[in-house]
Amino acid sequence: MHFRSGILIITLIAAGSFTANGQEESLRAYADKIGLNIGTCIFGRTYQSGQYSEILTRDFNTVVAENEMKAQAMQPQQGQFSFGTADAMVAFAQEHDMKVRGHTLVWHAQNPSWLSGGSWTRETLLKQMEAHITGVVSHFKGKVFEWDVVNEAFGDRATNGVNPLRGSFWQRTIGDDFLDSAFTYAHRADPDAILFYNDYSTSNVNSKSTSVYNKLKEMIENGVPVSGVGFQSHQTLEDYDEEFIASLKENFDRFAALGLRISVTELDIRITLPSGGNDWVTQAEYYREYLQTCLENSACKTFMIWGFTDRYSWIPGVFPGTGEALIFDDNFEPKPAYDELLETLKNYKPDAIRSFGGFRNNPASRLFTAGNFSRSIFNLRGEKIGTYSFSPTLLISAGGRPPAASQTVVIENGKRPMVLMR
């Protein structure tokens, strides 16, 4: 117990490290402890062997197919589905106890030409959409826990502060309500899947995210089964400053207030090449702040990076002159960003524990006079992982001064009891 000028300091003492069972320290081990889905995209068959596979299975508990569940891959010919490559990914994920995100059902890009180049009416295209969604979602029912049902439906240009929907073949042929149908078909095919709207340049407050916000709000009010919003988060190092992070938090909060889940779905942070002295350190801070923002919002339970090694990132090909966007370098060496993510997960305390720590800033009387000396602790998945309680010897001081007495808090945190002492 440590008292310093009347201030109560809570020390967390774990019986050994968080990595139980002699498990190697990793992003995954800490994410598992707090119930966070931490993930990366995978591609082709690279995930099956070698160093790539070792890092993948050590550090991540969730995967998404980079391209292999897109319409082009899923239904190359009309009415003929091709599940082989994606099935192999799902089987691998299951063997390694990993969850699978599904990406993506309705998008303007990476479609087979029979679909994007077909001549459709509203009715016939809705039929195709229904057939595609039903075929894919029911195939992966129970195996894919969350789906990006509609991807990138919004345009990038605002008129009077409003970004209209992009003029994709879906929007032009069906109309602005194509999203409603997509979510409805997906929900029918798998009522248990969490259904996401996913987009880029929408993670902070701006005209595009506000347009998405208004659309999702309206859909929810109309009973459309949309249950989450995905923020792709293809960031540049230049975006990063305090104001951006504040805006990120504000944006997460307003979407969460609609009752939606939030997922960070495709995070990467690209650097203008050649990278300079501090770039990797700044990048690491940016990764940390992003993760911290997710952890601080109880609606954010999935945090995905768009790949993990710079060797295979899509960035240099699509944004020439930039790169080094991920958390391992070309040679699979962890970058500072990896260490920051690890530390952030390691130090994360569920809300109940954090509010206890926040004690120091709060009048003790406000916290404890209600006589509530026992509280449950939940992880990010909403699973109860323990309780903490105060010993009845706790003395409560009046007038907002910190308590003068000590207490021990025991937490049954899964397999590992932890002791919180004053």
Active-site annotation, residues:
152, 266
For ligand XIL, what does the binding mask look like between residues 227 and 246, x meaning CB under 6 A?
Answer: -----x--------------
Residue with Cβ nearer ligand XIL (68 or 340): 68
151 binds ligand XIL (CB under 6 A): yes
d(CA 54, CA 254): 38
Q: How many residues does the chain have?
A: 422
For ligand XIL, what does the binding mask look like between residues 98 and 137, x meaning CB under 6 A?
Answer: ----------------------------------------
Taking CB under 6 A as the criterion, the residue among 32, 59, 66, 340 binding ligand XIL is 66
CB of 232 to ligand XIL, least distance (A): 5
Residue with Cβ nearer ligand XIL (113 or 119): 113
CB of 356 to ligand XIL, least distance (A): 40
Residue with Cβ nearer ligand XIL (215 or 422): 215
CB of 267 to ligand XIL, least distance (A): 11
**Is the four-CA dihedral 410, 414, 415, 418 of positive or negative sign?**
negative
Residue with Cβ nearer ligand XIL (153 or 219): 153
Q: Is 5 left (phi over 0), alpha (psi -120 to 50) or beta?
A: left
Residue with Cβ nearer ligand XIL (151 or 413): 151
Tokens of 189: 């095919």
379 binds ligand XIL (CB under 6 A): no
67 binds ligand XIL (CB under 6 A): yes
CB of 67 to ligand XIL, least distance (A): 5
Residue 79: partners with Cβ closer than 8 Å, 6 or more residues away:
131
Residue with Cβ nearer ligand XIL (67 or 210): 67
314 binds ligand XIL (CB under 6 A): yes
CB of 60 to ligand XIL, least distance (A): 17
For ligand XIL, what does the binding mask look like between residues 186 and 225, x meaning CB under 6 A?
Answer: ----------------------------------------
Tokens of 385: 């992982």
191-204: b or e for each residue (b if 16 or more CB lie within 10 Å)? Answer: eebbbbbbbbbbbb
72 binds ligand XIL (CB under 6 A): no
CB 302 within 8 A of CB 270: no
Chain positions contacting ligand XIL, by CB under 6 A: 66-67, 151, 232, 266, 314
